Copies of this chain bind each other. A is one copy, B any other.
Amino acid sequence: MPYVDIKVAGTLTREQKAKIAEEITDTLERIAKKPKSYTYITFHEVAGENWAVAGELLDSD
């Protein structure tokens, strides 16, 4: 029963999300023996204004 939550700064195409989900689900099956149907993955695309690194929002100049 893996649950994987992925937060990325910026956006991903549907294509990228489909491929990432496929690969991570495969990784968890091969390495951790988790049946594919058990794995839930959610994506959360976070705007630069809502993500800070080193104390600065990512959309700062």
A48 to B50, CA, bound (A): 18
What residues make up the interface of A, taking CB atoms closer than 8 Å to B? 1-9, 12, 14, 16-28, 31-32, 34, 36-37, 39-46, 49-58, 60
Identify which of B7, B20, B21 contacts A3 (C-beta below 8 A): B7
6 additional A-B pairs beyond A1-B8, A37-B54, beta carbons within 8 Å, are A3-B42, A8-B28, A23-B27, A36-B54, A36-B55, A39-B55
A27 to B41, CA, bound (A): 14
When distances are taken between beta carbons in the complex, the residues of chain B under 8 Å from A43 are 49-51
**By the criterion CB–CB under 8 Å, are B56 and A22 in contact?**
yes
Nearest CB on B from A45, distance (A): 8
